[in-house]
């Protein structure tokens, strides 16, 4: 029988871990809380605060808890943990969207300068 290995989330005794604050915990190198996945991305979401209505859709739907929101105010993206899946862009309801995907190498100013205008409703 081939033996596997266990990648523990915390170093040392984790018995009372649920009662400890994040800064008190000893995260192992394998724990996604401390491991950056930024190098996985080809594209990244860019946030345009001028269009955002703080609906929190992106925060609810992000599969990696990488939307930073405090007191129901969208603040930005945790680029250490965002994997660039684009779900947040899909669920953003504003016109134009407040989150758009750009190449990983794009700078913020460059991305904001390329932001699309509001789309007009099509006449019937």
The answer to whether residue 100 forms part of the interface with ligand SF4 (CB under 6 A) is: no
111 lies in the site for ligand SF4, by CB under 6 A: no
Q: Is 104 in the site for ligand SF4 (CB under 6 A)?
A: no
Q: If you write DSSP's letter for every residue of the chain in order, what string do you get?
A: --------SBSS--TTGGGS-GGGS-B-TT-TTT---GGG-SEEEEE-TTT-----HHHHH-TT--EEEETTEEEEE-TTT-----HHHHH--SSS-SEEEEETT--HHHHHHTPPPPPPPPP-
Interaction of residue 38 with ligand SF4, rule CB under 6 A: no
State which residue, 9 or 83, has the beta carbon closest to ligand SF4: 83
Q: Tell me whether residue 19 or residue 72 sits nearer to ligand SF4 (CB atom).
A: 72
Rounded to whole angstroms, how far apart are CA atoms 27 and 11? 6
What is the size of the binding site for ligand SF4 (CB under 6 A)?
26
Residue list 52-91, contact with ligand SF4 (CB under 6 A): 52-58, 62, 64, 66-67, 74, 77, 82-88, 91
Interface positions with ligand SF4 (CB under 6 A): 45, 52-58, 62, 64, 66-67, 74, 77, 82-88, 91-92, 94, 98-99
């Amino acid at each position: 029988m081939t033996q596997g290995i266990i990648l523990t989330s915390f170093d040392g005794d984790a018995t009372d871990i649920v009662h400890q604050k994040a800064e008190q915990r000893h995260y192992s190198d394998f724990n996604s809380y401390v491991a950056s996945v930024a190098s996985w991305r080809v594209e990244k979401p860019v946030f345009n605060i001028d269009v955002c209505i703080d609906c929190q859709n992106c925060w609810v739907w992000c599969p990696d808890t990488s939307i930073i929101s405090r007191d129901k105010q969208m603040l930005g993206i945790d680029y250490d943990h965002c994997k660039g899946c684009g779900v947040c862009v899909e669920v953003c309801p504003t016109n134009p969207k407040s989150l758009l995907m750009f190449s990983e190498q794009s700078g913020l100013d460059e991305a904001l300068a390329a932001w699309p205008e509001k789309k007009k409703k099509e006449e019937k």
